[in-house]
Amino acid sequence: MVSGTLYTYPENCRAYKALIAAKYASANVKVDTSFVFGETNKTEAFLRKFPSGKVPAFESSDGKCLQNGDAIAYYVANEQLRGKTDLEKAQILQWICFAESEILPASCAWVFPILGIVQYDKKTFDRSKEDVKAALGILNTHLLTRTYLVGERISLADITVACNLLHLYTHVLDPNFRKPYVNVNRWFTTMVNQPNFKAVAGEVHLCAKVAEVDP
């Protein structure tokens, strides 16, 4: 059973992946509450362990250091979450890469301008909605006949994809936009209502009215 300390800023969806996996695997992962993003991760001591200075970052009780939310989630997970067969493990890796390359970029391009994190750019903004539709379409087809993304039980694939969809479902996927993706809505709602998910991400309220960006 892995135990250790996680360094992150609050409400970090990347860190949620590791914390949720730890809940399922009963791993003892504590968030360092003294960590201040922008200060602690710029100290010599931190950079010696975590050269890129990026979070989430994890140090196990026996001194092993890892960065990247998916890698930390893998390390604190158990066999069920990691996949039992070589095929399941490969499929989980496929969904991890899908979450990072097909969902995350589109989610950031759509939500960040609304949150005022990046400058609004109409072309990028409009393109991101098409990319989100494409990603949700693939998920929706896959989940037509499946409860979980890989195998018959929850795995790291479900956790990583659900975490990467959090910003979209809470900020911009209003009932109208998400209407066609019945299977994804069902799967996502199931995910965020799992006790281990809720214990980390709290109550997840699906977007009621899409927030508009102020160009």
Partner 1 sequence: MAQNMVFENVWLDKGKYDDAERIYYEGKAK
Q: What residue type is 104 in one-letter code?
A: L
- Candidates 20-28, 115-123, 146-154, 176-184; binding stretch for partner 1 (CB under 8 A): 115-123
Q: Which is nearer to partner 1, 150 or 167 (CB)?
A: 167
Question: CA distances (Å), 209 to each of 41, 173, 176, in order?
Answer: 36, 8, 9
Q: Contact 7/57 with Cβ under 8 angstroms?
A: yes
Using DSSP's 3-state secondary structure scheme, residue 67 falls into: strand
Q: How far apart are CA 111 and CA 195, in angstroms?
A: 27
Kindly report the number of other CB atoms within 10 A of residue 71's CB atom.
14
**Least Cβ distance, residue 127 to partner 1 (angstroms):** 5
The correct pick among 37, 84, 175, 179 for binding partner 1 (CB under 8 A) is: 37
Q: What residue type is 148 in one-letter code?
A: Y
Residues 91, 66, 34: CA angle, nearest 5 degrees:
125
Q: How far apart are CA 154 and CA 73, in angstroms?
A: 13
Does 105 bind partner 1 (CB under 8 A)? Our answer is yes
- Candidates 30-38, 66-74, 164-172, 186-194; binding stretch for its own copies (CB under 8 A): 66-74
Does 201 bind its own copies (CB under 8 A)? Our answer is no
**Least Cβ distance, residue 194 to partner 1 (angstroms):** 22
Nearest to 165 by CA among 206, 211, 124, 213: 206
Q: How far apart are CA 117 and CA 18, in angstroms?
A: 24
The correct pick among 10, 63, 195, 215 for binding partner 1 (CB under 8 A) is: 10
Q: Which of residues 111-170 bind its own copies (CB under 8 A)?
A: 134, 138, 141-142
The correct pick among 26, 32, 51, 126 for binding its own copies (CB under 8 A) is: 51
Residue 127 binding target from partner 1, its own copies, none, CB below 5 to 8 Å by type = partner 1
Q: How far apart are CA 99 and CA 136, in angstroms?
A: 11
Residues in the chain: 215
**Least Cβ distance, residue 198 to its own copies (angstroms):** 25
Question: Which residues of this protein are in contact with partner 1, per CB under 8 A?
Answer: 9-12, 36-39, 101, 104-106, 108-109, 112, 115-118, 124, 127-128, 130-131
Question: Which residues of this protein are in contact with its own copies, per CB under 8 A?
Answer: 2, 51-52, 64, 66-68, 70-72, 74-75, 86-87, 89-91, 93-94, 96-98, 100-102, 134, 138, 141-142
